[in-house]
Amino acid sequence: MYCDYHLHPHHSADGKMSLREMALSAIEKGLDEICPTAHFDIDFPNETLNFECDLIDYVEDVERYSARYADKIRIKTGLEVGMQAGREDVYARSRACMEGLRFDYLIGSIHWLGRENGEPREKGINPVWGYGATKQQVQQRYTRALLQCAQEFPEFDCLGHITYYCRQNPGTDVQMRYTDAADEFDMLFRHLIQNGKGFEINASSLAKMGFCMPDLDIVSRYRELGGEIVTIGSDAHWAKDVGSGFTGACEMLKASGMRYFCTYEDHKPTFHPLP
């Protein structure tokens, strides 16, 4: 079983492949299943890119290609929903746009933490690193926000890239570790486990930085607490990257003590033994 559960077609403002190019790349590489997950980020503060894609257009396109390539690959319907802690208006608008549409799988992601302590807008859209914050402070803040969002927007299936801010870490040791936010990770994992939710292993950082988001120490703790639900995704924006990092993510998961990864249908996980 070879799959990819985090993919950005050009319905995402930053996607660089059509759904057709995505499907053909996956078929050529021998994937059994893909789940396109376009961005849907209400009120994401970016002046140049609009991350609120037309969901009716998107879902109809995914279903069309799913039918067209049904004899070659399974294509599920997914979405990467942007969450913002405390923003009931964002959740309400997301729910209204998703209403009546069928999704197999929703990634709940935070790409924007909002501003704290008067952080000005002009310092950049994600100013968390710009004020001398340590990576412990950043990961603790991010993990607390993930827990709050998980409680406020329980429609998601798995959380996206739970160590996201290693990507913009200006330091030399960019990796986020369990010990950077131990209490926060434990609280988050207990919530996920109790509510039948999971998180993804985002493999986009593997080739560039040499580790997954999250990596071995964090996943080992999740397993220790009884966590079983994880998905694997490349977060590819280009067709050439579809399916990348899958083998590395599986190796890391096995080393952590995990035995399965999941695919989804109608928000229900199916467990597959790690290859």
Closest separation in Å from C-beta 226 to Zn ion? 26
Q: Which residue of this chain has its Cβ atom nearest to Zn ion in the complex?
A: 109
Q: How far is the C-alpha of 255 from the C-alpha of 80, rounded, in Å? A: 28
DSSP of 179-222, one letter per residue? Answer: GGSHHHHHHHHHHHHHTT-EEEEETHHHHHHSS-BS-HHHHHHH
Give helix then strand counts, H and E, for the chain.
8, 10
**Residues within the interface to Zn ion (CB under 5 A):** 80, 109, 160, 235
CB 129 within 8 A of CB 138: yes
For 209, the token pair is 């930085």
C-beta of 84 vs 220, nearer to Zn ion: 84
C-beta of 15 vs 227, nearer to Zn ion: 15
Closest separation in Å from C-beta 164 to Zn ion? 7
Residue 254, beta-bridge partner list? none
Closest separation in Å from C-beta 152 to Zn ion? 18
C-beta of 215 vs 235, nearer to Zn ion: 235
Residues 6+ apart with CB under 8 A from 64: none
C-beta of 69 vs 112, nearer to Zn ion: 112
Closest separation in Å from C-beta 235 to Zn ion? 5
Torsional sign, CA 231, 234, 238, 240:
negative
Closest separation in Å from C-beta 194 to Zn ion? 24
C-beta of 29 vs 167, nearer to Zn ion: 167
